[in-house]
Structure 1
Amino acid sequence: MQVDEVKNIRNVAFISHGGAGKTSLIEAILFNAKATKRIGSVDNGTSIMDFDPVEINRKITINPKLCSIEWNKHLLNLVDTPGYGNFLHETKSALSAVGGAVVIASAISGIKAETERVWNFADDFDLAKIIFVNKMDKERADFYRTLGDIEQSFGITPIPLYLPIGKEESFRGIVDLIKQKAYEYPSEPTAEFKEMDIPADMKEAVESQRNKLLEAISETDDELIEKYLEGEEFSEEEILKGIREATITKRFIPVICGSAVKNVGSKFLLESIIDFMPSPLEREQKVAKNKKTGEEVMLDPENKDFVAYVFKTFIDPFSGKLSIFRVYSGEITNDTDVYNASKDEVEKITQLYLLQGKNFVKTDKVVAGQIAMVNKLKFTETFDTLCSNKKESCIIDPVPLAEPVLSFSLVPKSKEDEEKVSTGLHRLMEEDLGIRVTRDEQTGEQILSGMGQMHIEVVTEKLKKKFNVDVDLKTPKVPYKETIKISAKGQGKYKKQSGGRGQYGDVWIEMEPNERGGGIEFIDKIVGGVIPKGYIPAVEKGIREAALEGVLAGYPLIDFKVTLYDGSYHSVDSSEMAFKIAASMAFKKVAMEAKPVLLEPIVNMDIFVPEETVGTVIGDLNSRRGRVQNVEPQTTGQHITAQVPMGEILKYAPDLRSMTGGRGMFTIEFSHYEEAPSHVVEKVKEQSKVEQQ
């Protein structure tokens, strides 16, 4: 599978909401291109694109998959992407490596929130688009209603190239508005169809829609405008050229219709990808930065220096690490050393592969514009840049991804599995950049963060299937802290006599509030040797260790000054341990007299919601004790900024999804600590008692 010229390559991602039929459509295309002998099915687990055991079990796409096929002397790299909200960070990564997108619109459900999000991702990367209206054979399918939904959702005028013959159960073919021909399909999903007359009841609709198409095409060229105004016919070549120009420049979005499971329209989609989508020579040049100078470099596919960008990593139990990359200039062959400019390391390329879902196809060479895979690179990770020339190396900026929004405490069901869990999570983080794993120093919990409930569940499912470890998920503890509000003084005296040498330590301390963020300051004001200098560090240590457990609810007490100003010792019975215990006793006594308070963490939230849900979301934030700081209009809705107690939003992701119909997004970042209200203090103290018991 070798391509002769870069102009004959097309790199296209299939995008939409989950369940619209992306994977099924690619399965039909693979069958048409004779890459498979039968059309795989997502429902019965025979799809060659969704081959991960977790994907087969859940019947959804979780990771982007690549299939490379030949069609009419062109090489097409088609990327199947996730459509469910928890995995759209993977879709965004994949879109960074292609030049066009096929947007699947369901003729039943139309445009959903996730389709709007991935459409915006495609706009971010300035991708050309074609829309395929799928599921025309299903109950409640309506082509024209879907066109209206597309226009309303995306603010564009969709221009059909094909119209459906019949609908729902009676859907049996399509009319080609370019060639003015009709095609009837058999009930079985073969690659065959036969030409037929345009149905009489469709001639008026065909004429109307063809005129819209020709009018839209005429606007791409001054000569075509003249011909159109004078009523002259366009040649087929002029029509195809006009659609291509309009698609690449995004003047309009062409629309095709069909049924993936019945294999209706998929061949025409293939031809449209070749005819209308850009090659790597058109609108696909990538901007990089010279590693030494930082100057921007435009990567030219015709340049001989090899530059490639890794946009996806898989961890395979048998093949090891698999790195999928897009070549932007030059070419690469087997048994070649390359320089990883992102890691400043040299890697060995042993065997190159093209992919057809789960099938690897060996290849000797990969040229500019192609997408390929290599395994067992030691240092390379997702978003790294590979180069042939170290002296003139460059780096392609990584794709900015949203931060995780939902966290759980991860607890292995067996203590013996702790190391296996850590190893498994590390490998999964290489594969999925939406995962974060941290250790909360205060609570000691291992925190797993992801893009939503399903994302977290998938991670734990992969841990079990790939690494054979079971874990429990628990809501993480809120990292409350404590502090004091006034000054107080007091004594801590530890005296123990039980025969033989005893224990004796006696300290007097004063505690006072420190400025927020000032930490713990220890001041030694002992004079006259009432406490020997050798015991002073033990006093400080006793106070700092006691502060870790606070005095209200077991949380660290912070931001205070403590002055050691008096005490006494015994020449025989005193010891470092005795003074450490005395200091701890003094701390607990004095801190309780210094009006201790509970501090709760406050986070900054950036929330993006549709216009019609702003009131609901703001009302919900108020109920969570949030303070809305600003509401700013955006092109697709409203941007709300707010400060909210962390304890109120531990499970905010599913709530926001419910309030906004899946269209809301948010990010959070820690801001500061504030004194918690009395009802929160009582609740936290009660929880602390239960945990201690």
Structure 2
Amino acid sequence: MAERSTGATTGAAGRVPAADRPDMVRNVVLVGHSGAGKTTLIEALLAETGVIQRIGRVEDGTTVCDFDEVEVRQQRSVNLCAAPTMHNNIKINFLDTPGYADFVGDLRAGLRAADAALFVISAVEGVDGLTRMLWEECALVDMPRAVVVTKIDHQRANFDEVLTSCQDAFGDGVAPLYLPVNGTGLLGLLSQRFFDHAGGTCVERDPDPGQREIIEQYRGDLIEGIIQESEDESLMDRYLSGEEIDSKVLIDDLEKAVARGSFHPVLAAAPGVGMREILEIVTQGFPSPLEHPLPAVTTIDGRPVATLSADPDGPLVAEIVKTTSDPYVGRISLVRVFSGTLTPDMTVHVSGHGLAERGHEDHDLDERVGVLSSPLGKTQRPVAKCVAGDICAVAKLSRAETGDTLSEKDQPLLMTAWTMPEPLLPVAIQAKSKADEDKLSQALARLVAEDPTLRLENNAETHQLVLWCMGEAHADVLLDRLAKRHGVEVEKVDLRVPLRETFGGRAQAMGRNVKQTGGHGQYAICHIEVEPLPSGSGLEFVDKIVGGVVPRQFIPSVEKGVRAQMERGVLAGYPVVDIRVTLYDGKAHSVDSSDMAFQIAGQLALKEAAARVQALLLEPVDEVSVLVSDEFVGAVMSDLSSRRGRVLGTEPVGSASSGGGANGRTLVRAEVPELEITRYAIDLRSMSHGTGSFTRSFLRYEPLPAHLAEKVAAASQ
């Protein structure tokens, strides 16, 4: 890996050809906190290689990731997007990811599509809790990483402080290759040369005495770090004995360590500064698709298949990592090909993806591929093929969704899905007008196809349409897309939590349904006793009729009426649970008694029993596990208590996945009423500065406190 290169770039035309071989491809995802400068860095790299003529604009006047109208209006990245370029005859697919915790689904999709990551950190803002969380996301999938410190030309930039923070947070293997000078120059630690960009072009020269001292201050640690990762065990002894190690040997070992993911070089960048150095790391240090293991692949019925590789002549296995909808073109699928070769107009099998509980239907069907293109913003440049290891955009896959596998129609396969985060913020919505209601179902289906982190729920109990989102920003983006992209106006409504009702004690009551209106009347009288049962018991119906006072054929009718009234509730309109109903007496008429008459009598009896004894409202209680940094544990526990929660305990959680950094975290376990945590995803993010996460699962129902029950009952009236 030479520290400077004049390798071939794309050229002024800005067109990036399709790759012919996997070893000539690099797939690189940019990861970092929002505002760190990921999108600007991609634009600067594209400008450096000639794909665009100036930062921020492609040929059609749009920006690099300009396909989403939300991003244009809000001036922030909320989508995974791809931008290809060429350097040293190697095709590089840069993948830009959102820097918000709400869009971690797109981040994980980017990690799935990439073989290495550029971790982008601002020289002004530095490392925070969310940055550490994103680093751990990369570490969990063993993603090779290099760190790029951006904004080194800012007046408040502090490269040394950020470097120290990175080494503290990310652990061993983090070391600089270049040091910034005044925001316009770079000191190469291996080459011991100074690259001056102050005049607008790069001028290479020997460092002055002061700069040489700075190089010596950092160079020894860098060389030792590289040698520690070397497979040549004699190298350290030679270095410690005073031997000058050849720079080519160091560079070769550096490249291997970066590709393995055991060494994370730190580079510095500003517009026009550091771009060549980043491109060299990408093309020579990062692994090609041939060096990065493929996700597990099975047959449709789950049987394992022989290990595949990035072979253009192998069986086709590709995955849709992002789906977008264009009002004029339709669905556009961003596809990573892992094996085989994808060509236009071929018929592929679409299979996936096991998220039916989120409203995403499973797929097992054939579809015809449309045009293949190289994506860049809204510009789609057609390509003739997409070989194993490459990424392309595919048009007209009308049924396929994010996460689906594309394979040969005669040899259908399925890739193991990447882990999707659980959406934990419920947002209840309703259409603003009848016209909106008519279009809502189709618009929501398109949103679900695009976003596997979204869960769509039609709650049968509360009769509400609920979008389960990752957070408030995620919800806002979804509602914005409904309005602007699909022309459907909706409004948020108060979320109803499904409560339950039960009896607080024993009660006896009579249900009397006697009506004589001429002709065939109604006659049914039943006496019941109701008593509460332990939680989870449901309904226990007991028949104690003797002497035939209620004919045998009408006893099931009474039970049916009781069950119907239990569904409608006896206090506030919520289902009644956990009671024993004993039918012990009654009366019938030889002509006017009927099945329906005794059903109504059973309903009336249950309502009368509820009026004679205290009826209770029950609320769902969830088991909640909250993972936060140690510094936020006190605030989280206090907050859970204020939500009527019961903290069960805490336990420390190791941070080995972070690469050895000192990121102490604690798992807090508690039981919390569901009414109190409908917006907990937002509140926890605020309390933990965006770093906390939690899971929840239904535990049981418990009586709602009297003062809250009175409010609910009054509102239902």
Q: TM-score, normalised by structure 2?
A: 0.89
Of 557, 564, 567, 2:576 maps to 557
Of 113, 120, 130, 1:97 maps to 113
* Uncovered stretches (5+) of structure 2, i.e. residues with no partner: 1-16, 353-362, 656-664
* 1:615 Cα deviation after fit: 2.2
Q: Does 1:689 align with 2:689?
A: no
Q: Does 1:213 align with 2:222?
A: yes
Give the stretch that moved more between structures: 194-203 or 131-140: 194-203
Of 657, 669, 682, 1:654 maps to 682
Which protein has greater RCO, CA pairs closer than 8 Å, 6+ apart? 2
Of 668, 672, 683, 2:696 maps to 668
Of 252, 268, 276, 2:263 maps to 252
Q: For residue 481 of structure 1, what is the amino acid of its counterpart?
A: R
- Aligned partner of 2:272 in structure 1 is 263
SS at match of 2:512: strand
Per-residue CA shift, 1:18-55, capped at 9, x if unaligned?
Answer: 1101011001111112111221079xx95221431111
Q: For residue 69 of structure 2, what is the amino acid of its counterpart?
A: P
Q: Does 1:328 align with 2:338?
A: yes
Of 488, 493, 497, 1:474 maps to 493
- Aligned partner of 1:182 in structure 2 is 194
* 1:83 Cα deviation after fit: 0.6
- Aligned partner of 1:382 in structure 2 is 402
User: C-alpha separation between the residues in 2 aligned to 1:650 and 1:426?
Assistant: 24
- Paired residues in the alignment total 677
* 1:499 Cα deviation after fit: 7.1
SS at match of 1:310: strand
Per-residue CA shift, 1:98-128, capped at 9, x if unaligned?
Answer: 1100000111111123222221111121111
User: C-alpha separation between the residues in 2 aligned to 1:507 and 1:207?
Assistant: 96
- Aligned partner of 1:645 in structure 2 is 673
- Aligned partner of 1:405 in structure 2 is 424
- Aligned partner of 1:231 in structure 2 is 242
User: C-alpha separation between the residues in 1 aligned to 2:349 and 2:382?
Assistant: 22
* Uncovered stretches (5+) of structure 1, i.e. residues with no partner: none
1:338-349 equivalent positions in 2, closer than 5 A: 338-342=348-352, 343-349=363-369
Q: For residue 281 of structure 2, what is the amino acid of its counterpart?
A: S
User: C-alpha separation between the residues in 2 aligned to 1:550 and 1:305?
Assistant: 58
Q: Does the CA-based 8 Å contact 2:347-2:409 persist in structure 1?
A: no
User: C-alpha separation between the residues in 2 aligned to 1:499 and 1:443?
Assistant: 41
Per-residue CA shift, 1:109-155, capped at 9, x if unaligned?
Answer: 11123222221111121111010001112232100000111112222
Q: 1:646 to 1:239 in 2, by over 3 A?
A: same
Q: Does 1:198 align with 2:210?
A: no
User: C-alpha separation between the residues in 2 aligned to 1:270 and 1:357?
Assistant: 21
User: C-alpha separation between the residues in 2 aligned to 1:50 and 1:226?
Assistant: 53
Q: Does 1:317 align with 2:336?
A: no
Give the stretch that moved more between structures: 74-83 or 364-373: 364-373
Q: Does the CA-based 8 Å contact 1:481-1:555 persist in structure 2?
A: yes
Give the stretch that moved more between structures: 139-148 or 287-296: 287-296
Give the stretch that moved more between structures: 647-656 or 633-642: 633-642
Of 619, 622, 628, 1:603 maps to 622
Per-residue CA shift, 1:463-498, capped at 9, x if unaligned?
Answer: 101121221113311211011244332212234456
Q: Does the CA-based 8 Å contact 1:174-1:258 persist in structure 2?
A: no
User: C-alpha separation between the residues in 2 aligned to 1:2 and 1:412?
Assistant: 45
Q: Does 1:160 align with 2:160?
A: no
Q: Does the CA-based 8 Å contact 2:403-2:452 persist in structure 1?
A: no
Q: 1:186 to 1:152 in 2, by over 3 A?
A: same
- Aligned partner of 2:436 in structure 1 is 417
Per-residue CA shift, 1:627-662, capped at 9, x if unaligned?
Answer: 333422222311222221111111112221222121
SS at match of 1:299: coil
1:206-605 equivalent positions in 2, closer than 5 A: 206-219=215-228, 220=230, 221-259=232-270, 262-291=271-300, 294-295=303-304, 297-302=306-311, 304-342=314-352, 343-388=363-408, 390-391=410-411, 393-496=412-515, 503-532=522-551, 535-536=554-555, 538-570=557-589, 574=593, 578-605=597-624
Q: For residue 162 of structure 2, what is the amino acid of its counterpart?
A: T
* 1:92 Cα deviation after fit: 1.0
SS at match of 1:326: strand
Q: 1:195 to 1:235 in 2, by over 3 A?
A: same
Q: Does 1:622 align with 2:658?
A: no
Over aligned residue pairs, what C-alpha RMSD do you find? 2.5
SS at match of 1:298: coil
Q: For residue 186 of structure 2, what is the amino acid of its counterpart?
A: I
Per-residue CA shift, 1:589-610, capped at 9, x if unaligned?
Answer: 2134454322110112121100
Q: Does the CA-based 8 Å contact 1:491-1:506 persist in structure 2?
A: yes
Q: TM-score, normalised by structure 1?
A: 0.92
Q: 1:586 to 1:412 in 2, by over 3 A?
A: same
User: C-alpha separation between the residues in 2 aligned to 1:163 and 1:258?
Assistant: 10
Give the stretch that moved more between structures: 152-161 or 121-130: 152-161
1:26-105 equivalent positions in 2, closer than 5 A: 26-40=42-56, 46-105=62-121
Of 16, 19, 28, 2:32 maps to 16
Give the stretch that moved more between structures: 266-275 or 143-152: 266-275
1:113-192 equivalent positions in 2, closer than 5 A: 113-166=129-182, 171-186=183-198, 192=201
User: C-alpha separation between the residues in 1 aligned to 2:38 and 2:582?
Assistant: 68
Matched-pair identity in %: 37
Q: Does the CA-based 8 Å contact 2:330-2:395 persist in structure 1?
A: yes
Give the stretch that moved more between structures: 90-99 or 504-513: 504-513
Q: Does the CA-based 8 Å contact 1:334-1:351 persist in structure 2?
A: yes
Give the stretch that moved more between structures: 231-240 or 644-653: 231-240
Q: Does the CA-based 8 Å contact 2:509-2:608 persist in structure 1?
A: yes
Q: For residue 672 of structure 1, what is the amino acid of its counterpart?
A: R
Per-residue CA shift, 1:340-363, capped at 9, x if unaligned?
Answer: 344332222232222223221211
Q: Does the CA-based 8 Å contact 2:366-2:409 persist in structure 1?
A: no
User: C-alpha separation between the residues in 2 aligned to 1:409 and 1:290?
Assistant: 38
Q: Does the CA-based 8 Å contact 2:19-2:386 persist in structure 1?
A: no
Per-residue CA shift, 1:397-430, capped at 9, x if unaligned?
Answer: 1111121111121121213322322221111011
Q: 1:293 to 1:587 in 2, by over 3 A?
A: closer
SS at match of 1:152: helix
* 1:86 Cα deviation after fit: 0.7
User: C-alpha separation between the residues in 1 aligned to 2:396 and 2:709?
Assistant: 49
Q: 1:121 to 1:587 in 2, by over 3 A?
A: same
User: C-alpha separation between the residues in 1 aligned to 2:545 and 2:103?
Assistant: 61
SS at match of 2:568: coil
Q: Does the CA-based 8 Å contact 2:21-2:387 persist in structure 1?
A: no
* 1:256 Cα deviation after fit: 0.6
Q: Does the CA-based 8 Å contact 2:331-2:397 persist in structure 1?
A: yes
* 1:199 Cα deviation after fit: 4.4
